[in-house]
Structure 1
Amino acid sequence: MAKTLLSFGHGFSARALARLLIPQGWTIYGTTRKPDKADALRAEGVTPVMWPDGDLSAAFDAATHLLISAGPDAEGDPVLNRYRDQVTAMAPRLEWAGYLSTTGVYGDHQGDWVTEDTALTPSTRRGRMRVEAEADWQSIPGLPLHIFRLAGIYGPGRGPFEKVRQGTARRIVKPGQVFSRIHVDDIAQVLEASINRPNPGSAYNVCDNDPAPPQDVIGYAAELLGLPIPPEVPFDEAEMSPMARSFYAESKRVDNTRIKQELGVCLTYPDYRSGLAALLAETGGA
């Protein structure tokens, strides 16, 4: 039977999933706000639909699978705010639905480990909005929902190499600070594995095996490029945007056992070293 994915907020992670599904014969509808991006999606084999005013009737009628990448805002979840009735109507006939959330829902654990069973105690406004959005999607009757809590995403075009080359990278040091991260291609393979082995109601941490201090990642990128390692800057002295500073408000190690045991995932990039080395080899770090 033909498979059709309706992808709201068809961005970095969703495009990586599309690269896996389209060769298998899938039809993919992806929403975007930008006309130039619509052209790029069309070139990738995706049927673009402009958000928020495009006509999604054909996509709602055909969809067998649903992916939500669009994040919430102060008004709540943008997809449910606009299309709750349509989503509710299609929910019972969907084979799979995936919501891309964030590990920020767990809040700060001072470097300790969190699992999918850890209480959701977000300490940032963005984290609280994500918890509310997860609950809003869980409230849709009959929706075969799977929640994916993503760590810090990197991949082609999203990595530290450019800043290191430009000399603008900083090794900001906050004692005890660790982040988990994930290569976009591994996000895609986790989503595909879940589509092939659905378990509605599940939540999955999507991260690699090696939580690490952010300054170590910058230092390794410099080593790969053969450039001087940027100097350390104490967190208390660093000039940072409120958004950047908010990331340092939380420190935790995220456990990824469930994606391996339940979904059978073997990460292509199990740590930032393998991921950054592959990026540099494939794209020159672009």
Structure 2
Amino acid sequence: MRRLLIIGCGDVVRRVLPQLVRRWRIYALVREWDPALRALGVVQIVGDLDRGASLTRLVGLAQAVLHSAPPGEDTSDDARTRRLIAVLRQASLPRRLVYISTSGVYGDCAGDRVFETRRLAPRTARARRRVAAEAQLRRFGRESGCAVSILRAPGIYAADRLPLERLRRGLPLLLPEEDIYTNHIHAEDLGRACVAALECGAFAGGRAYNAVDDSDITMGDWFGKLADAFALPHPPRVSRAEAERVLPPVQLSFMRESRRLDNTRLKRELRLRLRYPTVDSGIAAALEDKAPHPPAPAPRARVTGDRYAHGIVAVPFSGRPSEGD
């Protein structure tokens, strides 16, 4: 079976692990032991991208890499990705590598439609580190022949990742005439995009994809839909000058950039059919998740002779023993 190395086993990746384990032998770099990963058959390797010496067991390990670890915050580039590439170069090279980046690499586009060929103009330190990571990975792909796919993700949401607390706090939004365009992707669809890129990505030297749904909405539209769906008050609207005065810096950073990402390449080249093509479908699914469901009936024992079969099957873990994490 093909071997896949996962760097960064967060929420998005975990959503598609059941799908991945059917196609790949999975190894994951982790800082701490996680019984849930072992239960899925994932071989865990203890290591830390901030400590290069801890990564030696990754040398020559896998034929493909899924890299979703964020950059550190202590440098202007992405030292974590640099250390990972150094390890990957030491033995047989992976044939494919998928990296989850951010749409923040484009910077402010004044509401323009944005294609992957647009010049990158990051405005924040975190986005500049992502640009550095992309450049390192593209260079690695050119020099090694590894097919590198870069998924530029915008705001990731799911039933348990909705900004409802922001609505409850009543934080203001910009006036409609000053509002910005926002972009969204359901966490499950982003995970499925990773799977598609692992199977279909074929561009040595790197190929970027806007990992975004089909929605074309402003920030006010987004929060208005959430407020209506969850019976919460609509946020107040203020001028940009007033927002600069009353909002915290992190919130302001998202309101200073406006763009509309085009996902044609994602759907055409990776043959991805979105499960949640708009935020409306994602919000509807979130409401369904939160709706009370009747309890499932208790299983009835099946009598076989004088024994009761309860359908409990123990499946032994047959993977390579993991070391501590």
Instruction: Flag whether TM exceeds 0.5 (same fold).
Output: yes
Give me the CA root mean square deviation. 2.5
Give TM-score, length-normalised by structure 2. 0.77
Contact 2:159/2:285 (CA < 8 Å) preserved in 1?
A: no
Per-residue Cα deviation, 1:66-117 (whole angstroms, up to 9, x for no partner): 0111222343324344343321134x64231011111111111110111011
Q: Does residue 190 of structure 2 align to residue 187 of structure 1? A: yes
- CA drift of 1:186 comes to 0.9
CA 1:250/1:48 → structure 2, altered by over 3 Å: closer, same or farther?
Answer: same
**Counterpart in the other structure of 1:12:** 11
- CA drift of 1:155 comes to 1.5
Q: Report how many residues are paired.
A: 278
Specify every segment of 5 or more residues in structure 1 that has no aligned partner in the other structure, as ranges.
none
Tell me the amino acid that sits aligned with residue 99 of structure 1.
Y
3-state SS of the aligned residue for 2:98? Answer: strand
Moved over 6 A (4+): none
Distance between the aligned counterparts of 1:132 and 1:253, measured in 2? Answer: 23
CA 1:16/1:59 → structure 2, altered by over 3 Å: closer, same or farther?
Answer: farther
- CA drift of 1:31 comes to 2.7
Give TM-score, length-normalised by structure 1. 0.86
Select between 213-222 and 79-88 the one with higher mean Cα deviation. Answer: 79-88
Per-residue Cα deviation, 1:188-221 (whole angstroms, up to 9, x for no partner): 2222222221222211110011132222222211
**Counterpart in the other structure of 1:152:** 155
Tell me the amino acid that sits aligned with residue 216 of structure 1.
D
Q: Does residue 265 of structure 2 align to residue 258 of structure 1? A: yes
- CA drift of 1:272 comes to 1.0
Match of 2:37 among 30, 37, 41: 41
Q: Calculate percent identity across the aligned residue pairs.
A: 34
3-state SS of the aligned residue for 1:17? Answer: helix
Task: Compare the two structures and name the one with the higher helix fraction.
Answer: 1
**Counterpart in the other structure of 1:26:** 24
Query: How is 1:1-286 mapped onto 2 (pairs within 5 angstroms)?
Result: 2-22=1-21, 24-35=22-33, 38-52=34-48, 56-73=55-72, 74-75=74-75, 76-90=77-91, 93-140=93-140, 141-142=143-144, 143-164=146-167, 167-173=168-174, 175-200=178-203, 201-238=206-243, 239-283=246-290
- CA drift of 1:279 comes to 1.7
Contact 2:31/2:46 (CA < 8 Å) preserved in 1?
A: yes
Answer with 1 or 2: which has the greater Rg: 2
CA 1:83/1:180 → structure 2, altered by over 3 Å: closer, same or farther?
Answer: closer
3-state SS of the aligned residue for 1:31? Answer: strand
Tell me the amino acid that sits aligned with residue 251 of structure 2.
A
